[in-house]
Amino acid sequence: MGRYKSPPAVEAAQALAVEAVLAPAAVALKEKVATEQQTMNQAVAEQRTRREEERWTKSPEAAASRQPTVMSPSRWAQGRRRQRRLALGAEFSSSATASSKHK
């Protein structure tokens, strides 16, 4: 014989009762998590700004040395070629050197 199944109206009423009990707790938990996350983000942001301020106020010479340097176009191109060579990988460059040796 099959198991007794309560009518849909009873199941719906039970679901509503459970939801009525759990909904406030869920809302409170969401709010608690949101406030904790907000305070965590705030603390991280304050720490970051404090670190930045410390870094720039230690000495004017150190601050001046951290100014971005302008790179010459040839130097930039040299770096780009190196990056491309590294990106292609050693197997490509080794095969290129092997083929140049056989010429």
Is residue 1 a part of any domain in this protein?
Answer: no
Whole-Å CA distances, 9 to 5, 13, 15: 11, 6, 10
User: pTM for the full model?
Assistant: 0.37
At 28-46, the pLDDT tens digits run: 999 999 999 999 999 999 9
pLDDT value of position 65: 64
Question: Which runs of consecutive H residues, i.e. helices, occur in 1-103?
Answer: 8-57, 60-65, 73-88, 90-101
Q: Same domain for 16 and 49? A: yes
Count of the separate structural domains present in the chain: 2
pLDDT value of position 18: 84
Q: Same domain for 13 and 54? A: yes
pLDDT value of position 64: 64
Which structural domain range is residue 76 located in?
72-103
Percent of the chain with pLDDT over 90: 21
